[in-house]
Amino acid sequence: MSYNKNVKYFQVAQGVWGMKIYFVNVYMIANRRGFPKGWVLVDAGVQGSADKVIAMAESIFGAGTKPTAIVLTHAHSDHTGALEDLLKRWDVPVYAHAFELPYLNGKSSYPPADFTVGGGIMSLMSVFFRKTPLKLGNKVKAIDLEQGIPELPEWKIIHTPGHTPGHVSLFLPLNTTLIAGDAFVTTKPESAVYVLNGIKHISGPPMYLTPDWAAAKASVQKLSDLQPRIAATGHGPVMRGRELQEELKKLADNFDKLAVPTGGRYVGHSAEADETGTYYVPAFRSTTKFKVAIGLAGALAGFAVTRALTK
- DSSP-assigned letter for residue 134: P
> Closest separation between CB of residue 228 and Zn ion, Å?
19
Helix (H) or strand (E) holding 28: strand 24-30
Q: Is 76 in the site for Zn ion (CB under 5 A)?
A: yes
Binding status of residue 190 toward Zn ion by CB under 5 A: no
Phi, psi of 67 (to 5 degrees): -75, 165
Contacts of 65 (CB under 8 A, 6+ apart): 39, 57, 58
Smaller CB separation from Zn ion, 58 or 84: 84
Instruction: Choose between 30 and 180: whose C-beta lies nearer to Zn ion.
Output: 180
User: Distance (Å, rounded) from C-alpha 205 to C-alpha 148?
Assistant: 24
User: By rule CB under 5 A, what string of x and - marks binding of each residue 138-177 to Zn ion?
Assistant: ----------------------------------------
Q: Which residues make beta-bridge pairs with 27?
A: 18, 42
Distance of CA 10 to the CA centre of its chain: 17
Q: What are phi and psi of 203, to 5 degrees?
A: -140, 165
**Closer of 182 and 190 to Zn ion (Cβ):** 182
Give the binding range for Zn ion (CB under 5 A) out of 56-64, 154-162, 228-236, 259-267. Answer: 228-236
Contact 232, 12 (CB under 8 A): yes
- Closest separation between CB of residue 302 and Zn ion, Å? 15
Which residue lies nearer to Zn ion by CB, 30 or 251? Answer: 251
Q: What gap in Å lies between CA 118 and CA 135, rounded to an integer?
A: 30
CB of 75 to Zn ion, least distance (A): 9
- C-alpha distances (whole Å) from 116 to each of 289, 291, 296 are 8, 5, 8
Over the range 76-101, which residues count as b (16 or more CB within 10 Å of their CB) and which as e?
A: bbbbbbbbebbbeebebbbbbbbbbb
Nearer to Zn ion, 59 or 73 (CB): 73
Closest approach of Cβ 33 to Zn ion, in Å?
A: 30
Instruction: Give the residue at shortest CB distance from Zn ion.
Output: 76
Minimum CB distance to Zn ion, residue 24 (Å): 5
**Smaller CB separation from Zn ion, 78 or 247:** 78
Determine if 43 is a binding residue for Zn ion (CB under 5 A): no
Residue closer to Zn ion (CB basis): 59 or 77: 77
CB of 180 to Zn ion, least distance (A): 11
Helix (H, G, I), strand (E, B), or coil: what is residue 202?
Answer: coil
Residue 182 found at the interface with Zn ion (CB under 5 A): yes
* CA diameter of the chain: 56
Q: Which of 15, 234, 261, 302 binds Zn ion (CB under 5 A)?
A: 234
CB-CB contact of 232 with 146 (8 Å): no
Q: How many residues bind Zn ion (CB under 5 A)?
A: 4
Closer residue to Zn ion (CB): 185 or 248: 185
| CB of 233 vs Zn ion, minimal distance in Å | 9
Residue closest to 124 by CA, chosen among 275, 306, 286: 306
Q: How far is the CB of 58 from Zn ion (least distance, A)?
A: 25
Q: Which residues bind Zn ion (CB under 5 A)?
A: 76, 78, 182, 234
